[in-house]
Structure 1
Amino acid sequence: MEKAGSGGSDRGQSVQARCGDHGRAEAAKGVGASLQGAQGGARAPKKSHPVCFGSKAEVFEFIEVNRDKHDLTLMCRVYGVTRAGYYAWRSRERSERERQNEALAERIKAVHAESRGTYGSPRVHQALRQRGCSVGKHRVARLMRAHGIKARVATIRYTSPSLQRYYSGIPNRQLELELKQPDQVWVGDITYLKVGGIYRYLAVVMDKYSRRVVGWSYGPRKDVKLTLKALNNAVRGRRPGRDLVFHTDRGIEYAAGAFKERIAELGITQSMNRPGKVTDNAFIESFFHSMKTDVYHGRSFDEDEEIRTVLKDYLPFYNRARLHSSLSYVSPATFERQVR
């Protein structure tokens, strides 16, 4: 593991270049296997081990982090250092850089906790800057790796999309619009959420300019009732003008007569993806990916009320607090205040 706070030249960058994506915290997952292989006395080949070390100090740092999980003597033997050398390293007075890194790591942990474990190093770095902490993004990334602080990551599963009916009468009307303010274009879509072995559905309406979720509905059926409820919630909360464009995919839930009638009644212009162009609605797809990564993947829900509670908690957090990379690392609500 890279030593947090090493003085002189920043050897962490050279180590990182050699290791590529094999970060210290991620590589630690392979430590158990390597040490188990050495239990019988065989020494683990260094080239086969997933951790790259640039110095003995980095080896000692790595052993320090993992000593509660693995035998100290065995780790010293596997990584080619002595117990005496390890204890001598521990007894040395910490450098000023190390003390600074320790304090910075605590601030990083606080920001990460406030993000509910969703922020990676870019957002943590931006949050620290907004709080007046002048620190480099690479240093933040190194400290997060050293302390095992990681953002939630989703495992994406690709499935073959079913063929959808082509509604030639509704073109994509939002492609050529130049967005200058909120409530010019809204985008909507539906995603699946599994609850107790049964799929439920979440319909969301988002402002394309500010990325703010302006309306949503959750229910057991993927139908026009679901999409109408999300739309009506958005209209009730935002009260948009009659020049609004509402863009969706070509699903029947948005092309049904009841939905078209409500859109026309509100004076909203309907827009749909071009045939075969799923990226036409990329903004809402990106939101679903972020939401599922933050609060859905890796968890199980047995009751509808459980996931409703999560949604009621997460969506205000997303709108008001979660930093958005495409908005110069401010939340959607903050971005709207800045442009109004």
Structure 2
Amino acid sequence: MGASGGKRHSKKVSTFSGRGTTEAFRFIWKHRRDYSVKALCRHLKVSWSGYYAWANREPSKRATDKADLLLKIRKIYDNSKGRYGSPRVYQTLRREGLVVGENRVAKIMREWGMKARSAHVYRRLRKLRNDLKALPNYRLEAARPTAENQQWSSDVTYIKLGKKYVFLAVVLDLYSRRIISWRLGASLSANFARATLREVFTSRKPDSGLLFHTDRGIEYRAHKTQALLKQYQVKHSMNRPGQCTDNAEVESFFKILKGELLHATSFVTMRQLRNHIKAYIEGFYNTQRLHSGLGYRTPLEFEGVN
């Protein structure tokens, strides 16, 4: 081929299938930095002026629309820090007034390698004390909440920090799926759980009769915790033995948190971890993340908080 294209490129040129003029122009465009355009046109037997007319023409409306959609999808995906898959990206586009097919969004995200972050949930291991009272699961008979502060759910999970584990306790409002209280601690105890609850009782001021659901962990069965719940006239509900899905909403939050924030990320200090969790819960999960169970609204939006 000419002087600008050495022998090392001859194999690349031979891969052209020769199916048509447009395919030839695309091939020339792809390899224009390896060879002179004139040499490529001569080799592929197409018009040099025709190639430049093709290369300089305005892109089709379809190509332009696809490029614009890709930019919008990438912006939403990046703003979520890679936490959104195609369903939530699609719902965000709809909220912005864009009419687009969900399958098209999913296809573009696959093509460009945009995949939601995810991870397995790792639950803490603990020994149960048989002298602490377990309670029935009252949620099984309760109607779904119709407003905030009617039903809460709480649980604790562990997070690896360096070579040790620390504990994260959360309280979730079952009406809006909002995380209304959380606490990070170095050890698991009744005082740890009680501190999380004291904060939320002070901030939310629920009426008497609140249904509060947890698993059967000793931090919730402890006498100190039970006394606090009794003080606020709370009806305490617990998982059935071996049925962690009874507390599915909090389990789901832990899975989301670990997949979207903690997966493949190492934290060195408790302060660093606490700051990241705070930013995630208060700056994204409660305020920006679209929840499928809420009709793709955020918890604050579902509660009517501006």
TM-score (norm 1): 0.71
RMSD after superposition:
3.1
SS at 1:216 equivalent: strand
Structure 1 residue corresponding to 2:185, chosen from 200, 216, 219: 219
Q: Find runs of 4+ consecutive structure 1 residues off by over 3 angstroms.
A: 90-94, 157-169
Could you tell me which residue of structure 2 aligns to residue 239 of structure 1? 205
* 1:201, distance to aligned residue in structure 2 (A): 0.3
Distance 1:84 1:334 in 2: 60
Q: Which runs of 5+ in 1 are unaligned?
A: 1-40, 42-55, 73-82
Q: Report the number of matched residues.
A: 264
Distance 1:147 1:84 in 2: 31
Could you tell me which residue of structure 2 aligns to residue 101 of structure 1? 66
Q: How does 1:109-188 map to 2 (within 5 A)?
A: 109-154=74-119, 156=120, 164-165=128-129, 169-178=134-143, 179-188=145-154
* 1:261, distance to aligned residue in structure 2 (A): 0.4
Could you tell me which residue of structure 1 aligns to residue 245 of structure 2? 279
- Contact 2:121 2:254 (8 Å CA) reproduced: no
- Contact 2:121 2:255 (8 Å CA) reproduced: no
Could you tell me which residue of structure 1 aligns to residue 219 of structure 2? 253
* 1:304, distance to aligned residue in structure 2 (A): 0.4
Q: Deviations over 1:147-206 (max 9, x none)?
A: 22221121x267896564566651111221112111111000001111121100000000
SS at 2:253 equivalent: helix
SS at 1:302 equivalent: coil
Q: 1:158 to 1:202 in 2, by over 3 A?
A: closer
Structure whose CA Rg is larger: 2
* 1:101, distance to aligned residue in structure 2 (A): 0.5
Matched, 1:330 2:297: yes
Alignment-mate amino acid for residue 165 of structure 2: Y
Structure 2 residue corresponding to 1:299, chosen from 265, 273, 276: 265
Distance 2:155 2:44 in 1: 61
Distance 2:154 2:198 in 1: 12
Alignment-mate amino acid for residue 300 of structure 1: S
Q: Which runs of 5+ in 2 are unaligned?
A: 1-10, 12-21, 35-42, 46-50
Alignment-mate amino acid for residue 319 of structure 1: N
